[in-house]
Chain A
Amino acid sequence: MSNEPQTTNPKLIVAVQMLCIGIVLLILGIAVTLMSPVKSMTPLFRTWSILSNGSIILTGLAFTIGGILRHRRIK
């Protein structure tokens, strides 16, 4: 194996990954929610649409907060 100078702190890599994952999921979840005609859906579709979008937004939020906290701890 070659010598590997200037390796990035692995914890920083994970923190940035968490942040990116969180932001992508959060924005996508919000965009889908805003563009879905929830009011005009039948109850079956409305329930699953809210559950699906809500869980993506919550996952995104959790990863964003986790990423920010990890990033701060490293810096």
Chain B
Amino acid sequence: MYSNLVITAIYLALMFGAGIFFSRNIKNTSDYFLAGRSAPWFWIMGAVWATNIGFLHGYLAHGGAAYEWGLIQANFEWFQGPFGYILTGLFFIAFYWRAGIYTVPQFLERRYGNGIRTIYTLAWIFIFLVTIAAELYLGGMFLKNILHIPFWPTVFVLTAVVGSYMLLGGLGAAIMMEFVQFVIMMLGTMPLLFILLKMVGGFKGITSTLIGQWGVSAQYFSVLPDIHHPYGPGPWIVLGQCLVVTIGWCAGHQSMVQRNLGARSLYDAKLGYVAASIPKTLGAFLYIVPMVAAPIVFSQMGIFVEKSDAAYGKLILNILPQGMIGLFIAGLLSAGLSSIGSVLNSASTMIVKDIYERFFVKGKSDHHYFVAGRVATLSVIVVSLLLVPVVLKVYLIMWLEQLLLAMVLGPFMAVLALAIFWPRANTPGSLAGFLTGGAFAIVLQQVFGVNIFFQISWWSFVVSLVVTVAVSLLTPPPKKEKIEGITWQSNFEAMVGEVIEDRALGTAVRATTMKAKTIVLPPWHLNIKYWATAILAVQIALLLFFG
């Protein structure tokens, strides 16, 4: 036990020290919010994946669900996640870059105007605050249960570590830490899979024991089960979860997008996002497949698990030796800290860029907004800490977060898809569509009693799409200069030169005034389309095998 505590303390101290050391290089808002646009593609790959994996979305909650429901939980890793990453990398990131923005709401304003930006910003800031508080709560509870240390000092230490490097180092520190966390999770926690498979006789041993001896349904091993599955009906996973929620999450979640905006070039941003689908796919071998094997191990050892969320912790505590447990704790803490750090950074960026700079203090020096960024980070830390005691104990807050996500992601996907692929979409249409879609999500939940999150998202997406198209057709089209460079159609006009990079650097030049330029293609092994095709082929193979 002592060695696990020491390893955890060393890990947190290293995070703290590295963050402070790195922060000496941060000098302005571009450095702070976008890491000086310096990140190569492999930084982005690690950071995007680590951002996506936390206590909530990863080892504890997803692992627990896999323990209870089986391989269906791998649909996030083998189907939706990679699909969302690849689609966002190939189709959406370029438009954010071309718009020269810091935040997703800024893109919505560029395309549709002020109203939608404000609504979207406020909804996400609330979601971010609850997410940080929930991650801190889970982190504190996890360490309390596993190391038997008091809850509140643990929460304060976690907050101090992640808060200090985020407060001082901004996105650059976040990306750096997320890469460390990516390596620790991959190399440190992967051995559990091989150890468990050896213990239970491989994947064949799992199926023969669970189906052959215990009489478990074959659906336990299906990634996309039939429509009658109580936890995740396959068709709804494809429609609501994959096409709306996951793509909306990948293209609309500020934390996910901001890592790509910090890339050193558009090419790195796109390749980083596409390549992140590789660790995403491997993620299932870290916390889904081991947890499918876990019931057999628990039964062999006579261990009783009262709550599925606690299953992963019980597994590592009971089968791993000292030292290895310490590394696993570091790995799990990595997942939590990367999520908290990324959301903290994104919340402060949105507060400064989408609220403070727009409504309160306009036209000040860059240094002013740089300092405001740090104050915003500190404020988010304080508010999140205040929320820790109530979050998860007060069911309403988590319910509100889920409802807000359902309200936001469906309509967001509709207006974003139309913003890019349909130049006729305009401000009144998008506002009407966004609000109607959000309101419809509430009606579905409250009046019709629909409680499946991705069903709500799918129908709010459909309603939003129909209303945006109808209202846009009934009102005047947007002016051409307003949508130039940020719709799919204008992509071809932009091919004449470096407009993409120039816009991102804030020196926008009209595409039509630029001279034709020879486009140098990357070597075949760095061609994004080949990577995307190969990864999709692996996904299809996995789905055919486990479908």
Contact = CB atoms under 8 A, between A and B. Distances in A.
A38 B21 CA distance: 33
A20 B195 contact: no
A13 B188 contact: no
B10 A28 contact: yes
Interface stretch (B11-19, B52-60, B470-478): B11-19
A7 B18 contact: no
Interface string B378-404: 000000000000000000000000000
A49 B323 contact: yes
B35 A13 contact: yes
A75 to B, nearest CB: 13
A14 B191 contact: no
Contact of B18 (A12, A20, A51): A20
A60 to B, nearest CB: 8
Contacts of B175: 17
B327 interface: yes
- Judged by DSSP, the binding face of A is helix
A31 B187 contact: no
Contacts of A11: 38
Contacts of B365: 2
A59 B322 contact: no
B180 A21 contact: yes
A35 B14 CA distance: 17
B280 interface: no
Interface in B21-46: 21-22, 25-31, 35-40, 43
B36 A35 contact: no
A5 B10 CA distance: 37
B327 A12 contact: no
Contacts of A2: 29, 364-366, 369
B187 A24 contact: no
Contact of B30 (A4, A45, A48, A51): A4
Given A4-B366, A17-B172, A56 B188 contact: yes
A35 B183 contact: no
Interface string A25-48: 101100111011110110011001
Nearest to B25: A8
A6 B323 contact: no
Contacts of B22: 16-17, 20
A11 B31 CA distance: 12
B184 interface: yes
A28 B324 contact: no
Contacts, number: 140
Given A17-B176, A20-B22, A25-B183, A10 B188 contact: no
Contact of A24 (B18, B27, B320): B18
Contacts of B40: 14
A4 B326 contact: no
A20 B172 CA distance: 12
A10 B506 contact: no
A52 B188 contact: yes
B157 interface: no
B283 interface: no
A23 interface: yes
Nearest to B198: A44
B323 A13 contact: no
A24 B191 contact: no
Given A8-B27, A8-B31, A49 B18 contact: no
Contact of A31 (B7, B21, B195, B322): B7
B96 interface: no
A45 B38 contact: no
A7 B184 CA distance: 31
The 10 closest A-B pairs by CB, nearest first: A36-B323, A10-B38, A48-B191, A20-B18, A1-B506, A35-B3, A13-B38, A17-B176, A24-B14, A4-B30
18 contacts: A2-B369, A4-B366, A6-B27, A7-B28, A8-B26, A10-B38, A13-B35, A13-B38, A20-B176, A20-B180, A21-B179, A24-B15, A25-B180, A35-B322, A36-B3, A45-B320, A55-B187, A56-B183
Given A36-B3, A49-B324, 16 more contacts: A2-B29, A2-B369, A3-B366, A4-B29, A4-B30, A5-B28, A6-B28, A8-B27, A8-B31, A25-B184, A27-B10, A28-B14, A32-B7, A32-B327, A35-B323, A59-B187
